């Protein structure tokens, strides 16, 4: 059973990201403040529920949340500051868009950076423990999937509609055959044999 609150603050926000392990596309983060007595059937860590249920939950979360925000940071930012920093920055940018401003932040995972002196706690597997982090995980995932479906239209050969930019065999074969796009993360090991030296 997911818990409603971690702190004693009314405006506690949960935040999470999606797309950290992908070879292409943005890292996407969401931040959500939920009302005190929030309840929503099937809400859980977005990886534990089907795409169909995530899509059904998204408008319900948006309608019931006190406030929410989503941020995409593209491959060029990830290449510039690395994926961990980009993930944290995307979460922070989402939090800064919230109105009212959160009094407390709970973060999925074990890494975060101070933001405007708002107290925070990192929680490993927080998306399967707290409703606001689970809600943020669903929003981050659904918005990112939508983004990948859109850019799939430009580059259908990578089949991002299906793999969402993750390192599937099919995605890697397409990189081998067609090369990279502006959406690929050049700082990532795009092909397994990339690190072998050519003699």
Mean pLDDT, rounded, for 23-47: 93
State the Cα–Cα distance between residues 84 and 80, nearest whole angstrom: 11
- Measure CA 122 to chain center: 15
pLDDT band at 6 (very low <50, low <70, confident <90, very high): very high
Q: Which domains does the chain have, with CATH numbers?
A: 12-190 (3.30.420.10)
CA atoms within 13 A on the CB side of 71: 21
The answer to whether 9 and 15 have CB atoms below 8 angstroms apart is no
Query: Phi, psi (5° rounding) for residue 21?
Result: -90, 10
State the Cα–Cα distance between residues 92 and 87, nearest whole angstrom: 9
State the Cα–Cα distance between residues 83 and 73, nearest whole angstrom: 10
Mean pLDDT, rounded, for 167-187: 95
Give pLDDT, residue 194. 53
Mean pLDDT, rounded, for 102-106: 98
The answer to whether 13 and 33 have CB atoms below 8 angstroms apart is yes
Give pLDDT, residue 45. 79
| pLDDT surpasses 70 at 196 | no
- Strands of 120-123's sheet, edge to edge? 67-73, 27-33, 12-18, 104-108, 120-123
Apex 61 CA angle, 30 and 88, nearest 5: 10
Query: To the nearest whole percent, how much of the chain has pLDDT over 70?
Result: 96
**78-91 residue pLDDT tens:** 999 999 999 999 99
């Amino acid at each position: 059973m997911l818990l409603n609150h971690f702190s004693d603050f009314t405006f506690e926000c949960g935040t999470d990201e999606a797309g950290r392990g992908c070879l292409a596309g943005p890292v996407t983060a969401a931040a959500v403040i939920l009302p005190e007595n929030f309840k929503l059937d099937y809400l859980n860590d977005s990886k534990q529920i089907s795409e169909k249920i995530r899509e059904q939950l998204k408008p319900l979360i948006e309608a019931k949340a006190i406030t929410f925000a989503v941020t995409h940071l593209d491959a060029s930012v990830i290449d510039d500051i690395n994926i961990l920093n980009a993930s944290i920055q995307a979460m922070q940018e989402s939090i800064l868009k919230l109105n009212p401003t959160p009094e407390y932040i709970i973060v999925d995972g074990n890494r975060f950076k101070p933001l405007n002196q708002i107290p925070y706690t990192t929680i490993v597997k927080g998306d399967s423990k707290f409703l606001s982090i689970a809600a943020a995980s669903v929003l981050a995932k659904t918005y990112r999937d939508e983004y990948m479906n859109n850019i799939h239209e430009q580059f259908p050969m990578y089949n991002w509609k299906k793999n969402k930019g993750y390192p599937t065999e099919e995605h890697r074969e397409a990189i081998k055959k067609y090369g990279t796009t502006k959406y690929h993360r050049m700082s990532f090991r795009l092909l397994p044999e990339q690190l072998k030296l050519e003699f």
